[in-house]
Structure 1
């Protein structure tokens, strides 16, 4: 496979590794000149239509996902019998190898990795794609510490028609209980697997292990994990609570979205521990399957109420705690009994005094909560006890609809005299969020953008990446809403990361007129500059060449220079005056000109010599006319002054030309006889 070129473009260099159904090579994109990863399907699967369909699906699914934390897919295709996918080439090591080498990671690093994976899953889940194989082997840790989620080889969109069995496609150590049981899968199955990844990163080992995949998978369904802090005492209670919530057996008890998990991890990293406690407070009180301690197996453990964290207690600690709680309860009950008795006496005394003093009857106050003011008054009127609405005030309520009663005094069930007033508090609805000014995220990295938005009480999400030549790749290039506009606290700001300048192929405009070529290039997104040059072969005003040349890729918006012909250029014609005819012809032809010859009598230029030429400069390849002397036309002793060369006399117009050339020619001799 090495040195093979796939698709006429991607050169295979060396093998990086082999997985269950594919081999990955380092390669070179010969068009863009960049290093890529080339994933090829193993030969034994290439002829299987279901595997080929899954391989194609991986490329299409992953190509649709755009996140700084997901490996980018550039291209895919088939070359002969070889299916291939072209991906971003990553430098670094997978998380599994990192854990094996370094052991348990720092809590903050675990949360940071979990946060980035959650952001990647949020993008996938928003595209209705469930990864289904989240494990540390598929998490690449890059040299800068950030991660990339890889391998959507068994990822599947919800609307996919593939019928591959769900049951154990992922690695057994990381599959969710519902995945093991072949149940329908949702986004929470990825969050379960992510919980196990964070568990392993925090403790250095997986929560469930066994002799074979079936044993491990069954433990995922039936057993509870040992709390991470029992394996690694340095694990924070809040991080432990987050991990254990992810790993709840019932999907309804986990975080419901990757975005929810991301924000909880972000709260943890920002030190907002109360927010973390609130987000993880719904854990069940105890694990369902008690097991013995000390052998690394799972067990039943009590849970602290404040954080939802499950921690071990000794029998002594438990007994002491129970005794302390019992004493506190007894003391509290005594105090409550005394207070209740005093309150009861006061209430009874007031009722008796009121009844005796006014002679009015006392009635139970009806429940007005949840009614509108008008409906409440109507109910009071229908009761016939003369109760009336008293003071009316308003306040915001996050749970009660606007216009409905949220409080009343006296409260429902209390006793009041006939005709008493009942004060009510009416809901104004949910309190409007504070108005904030949207910050400018331009040139921020994703983490910088999230931190900046958090300061303003806003949420952030990554949208589709965009081309932008002015912003570094991977940094924010655009955002909605725009910077400096108003938004409400809690609103979501969508930001788009730069892909750099868009690459466009330069159109072929050679031979076109200047105006036509300019229009074509501008339509393709280029600026145009013009230079001129002569050309013997290209018509004046037409394009001779472009820079960059046609077919090469260039940044959209960059300048293409076109060279326009000014027509053939003039060159000097050799001076052949005085040359004999053959020498003159030779000199002109060697200079690139054509030659025509005419003769003319000359009394000053010897016969056979050039008298004149038609030009001293001309375009290369043009024809030059030379005039060659045919000799003198006047009488000269010893000279043939006629055009008759055979020595015979001839007479024209009374002129006599003696045969020996000594006669006088007064006319025009055209032939001799």
Structure 2
């Protein structure tokens, strides 16, 4: 199938089962189509490899192998792979269809996310990655384009099984520039990737969610790669008021250049993130802003991801414990993700976990009155910074005024030693006598006065 008749793929039936309905998107590895599973009467996503890539037999074999591995992943925060096959020489994948937008779409729309949004998405992403890492699987291409936000509230990591093949001598130009923004230093310098490389990519993505920008940018991919290998990721709070000291530390910990000092897998990071959520961010949050038109969905009974009217609420605030060392075993890790009893997964935790947190919050109610949540601390810090900014503005204005007065005094004013002012002689005819007063004595010259009119 040549590029000239690529659209003829639409309308075909693959393996006497999958009817191709419409084209959804085109990426560096292949084209994604909306399809229908005729046997099970459900919508599916079909990703077909680009025809010009099928001549690389090693690439095709790698594509097939990785697809088989991805099909073994079964997690509510992972886009599931249902089937794999060939249409002539073109390999294709049949995947779960997730109607909605990507995290990249949300960042374009909103520029930067709130702390609540970033934490909710992060928990879902880490849940999916933790399941993959426990199964011995590495994503290798974690980025906002591969994070799917479904209309019904689910948050899923996609393109498992495609990343390794797509990143092997096939990614060039702008696609490479977009991918390299999330590559770990060890992958850039040594070409070696493990679960810690996915952790690094997550940390970069968390930074971008909080700030609306990537930490390292350049016109050429080699410039970005050099910065990843030789520079530390800055604190998000330097340019975003959404970040807190806890989130700054989470970004720093997950993006350490030395992989030996980084968390060993996503499960460790997930355990730490849930400590933050249990400590100060227990209430429901909202991922999509009010301007987005999308249906409402309740996740695990506590979190509304796509609610038009729900506002962000804060749970019982507590102090956040210090971060665990990377080598410490996860306190709440596992591959099970955060699926609730209704089977819908997202950024919230299960109903049972939410109930447990509510009980803990009630027990801590008295102590919590004397403490501030991370969000309140962030707001208080922002108010203090604004107040300090106003004071500094007044000080600068006062100093500028003093400098202007001094410059005038010694430049054009009486303080200039080189300036000679004329002395005015008294008029011959004195004015009519006035009551006697004592005139003040002036030393030096006096200002010139206009002549008295007759």
Q: TM-score range by the shorter chain?
A: 0.5 to 0.7
- The one-character-per-residue Cα deviations of 1:614-646 (angstroms, maximum 9, x if unpaired) are xxxxxxxxxxxxxxxxxxxxxxxxxxxxxxxxx
Distance 2:139 2:82 in 1: 19
Matched, 1:452 2:352: yes
> How many angstroms does 1:15 deviate by?
0.7
Matched, 1:140 2:40: no
Distance 2:61 2:108 in 1: 35
- The one-character-per-residue Cα deviations of 1:154-173 (angstroms, maximum 9, x if unpaired) are 4469xxxx995799988110
> Pick from 11, 16, 40: which aligns with 1:32?
40
Distance 2:277 2:349 in 1: 15
> How many angstroms does 1:58 deviate by?
3.0
Hey, what does 2:63 align to over in structure 1? 55
Distance 2:190 2:26 in 1: 27
> How many angstroms does 1:119 deviate by?
0.8
Correspondences of 1:60-139 after superposition (within 5 Å): 60-139=68-147
- The one-character-per-residue Cα deviations of 1:536-560 (angstroms, maximum 9, x if unpaired) are xxxxxxxxxxxxxxxxxxxxxxxxx
Matched, 1:194 2:202: yes
Hey, what does 2:220 align to over in structure 1? 212
> How many angstroms does 1:257 deviate by?
2.3
SS of structure 2 residue aligned to 1:130: coil
Distance 2:171 2:100 in 1: 31
Distance 2:278 2:181 in 1: 31
- Tell me if the contact between 1:46 and 1:82 (Cα under 8 Å) persists in the aligned partners: yes
- Tell me if the contact between 2:237 and 2:244 (Cα under 8 Å) persists in the aligned partners: yes
> Pick from 257, 262, 272: which aligns with 1:249?
257
- Tell me if the contact between 1:195 and 1:243 (Cα under 8 Å) persists in the aligned partners: yes
Correspondences of 1:162-561 after superposition (within 5 Å): 171-271=179-279, 276-279=320-323, 443=342, 445=344, 450=350, 452-453=352-353
- Tell me if the contact between 1:264 and 1:279 (Cα under 8 Å) persists in the aligned partners: yes
- The one-character-per-residue Cα deviations of 1:290-313 (angstroms, maximum 9, x if unpaired) are xxxxxxxxxxxxxxxxxxxxxxxx
- The one-character-per-residue Cα deviations of 1:15-71 (angstroms, maximum 9, x if unpaired) are 111111211101111111111111111111123211211221232121111111100
Matched, 1:42 2:57: no
Structure 2: unaligned runs, 5 residues or longer: 1-8, 281-316, 327-339, 358-454
TM-score when normalising by structure 2: 0.60
Distance 1:186 1:257 in 2: 9
Distance 2:157 2:58 in 1: 24
Distance 2:128 2:196 in 1: 14
- Tell me if the contact between 1:241 and 1:280 (Cα under 8 Å) persists in the aligned partners: no
Distance 1:275 1:211 in 2: 42
Distance 2:81 2:70 in 1: 6
SS of structure 2 residue aligned to 1:174: coil
Please identify which structure carries the higher helix content: 2
TM-score when normalising by structure 1: 0.41
> How many angstroms does 1:177 deviate by?
0.3
SS of structure 1 residue aligned to 2:25: strand
Correspondences of 1:573-612 after superposition (within 5 Å): none
SS of structure 2 residue aligned to 1:171: helix
Asked which structure has the greater CA Rg, the reply is: 1
Distance 1:166 1:245 in 2: 31
- Tell me if the contact between 2:77 and 2:345 (Cα under 8 Å) persists in the aligned partners: no
Aligned length: 296
Distance 2:241 2:226 in 1: 27
Matched, 1:8 2:8: no
Distance 2:69 2:131 in 1: 12
> Pick from 149, 153, 163: which aligns with 2:157?
149
SS of structure 1 residue aligned to 2:34: strand
Distance 1:42 1:166 in 2: 11
> How many angstroms does 1:182 deviate by?
2.2
> How many angstroms does 1:450 deviate by?
3.9
> How many angstroms does 1:270 deviate by?
2.0
Distance 1:261 1:12 in 2: 39
Distance 1:167 1:138, change over 3 A: closer
- Tell me if the contact between 1:188 and 1:257 (Cα under 8 Å) persists in the aligned partners: yes
Please identify which structure carries the higher strand content: 1
- The one-character-per-residue Cα deviations of 1:250-288 (angstroms, maximum 9, x if unpaired) are 112222221111121112122259885422678xxxxxx
Distance 2:157 2:345 in 1: 16
- Tell me if the contact between 1:112 and 1:269 (Cα under 8 Å) persists in the aligned partners: no
- The one-character-per-residue Cα deviations of 1:568-593 (angstroms, maximum 9, x if unpaired) are xxxxxxxxxxxxxxxxxxxxxxxxxx
- The one-character-per-residue Cα deviations of 1:498-539 (angstroms, maximum 9, x if unpaired) are xxxxxxxxxxxxxxxxxxxxxxxxxxxxxxxxxxxxxxxxxx
SS of structure 2 residue aligned to 1:78: strand
- Tell me if the contact between 2:341 and 2:350 (Cα under 8 Å) persists in the aligned partners: no
Hey, what does 1:574 align to over in structure 2? none
Distance 2:324 2:216 in 1: 22
Distance 1:134 1:56, change over 3 A: same
> How many angstroms does 1:230 deviate by?
1.0
Distance 1:249 1:133 in 2: 18
- Tell me if the contact between 1:69 and 1:147 (Cα under 8 Å) persists in the aligned partners: yes
> How many angstroms does 1:236 deviate by?
1.4
Distance 1:209 1:189 in 2: 19
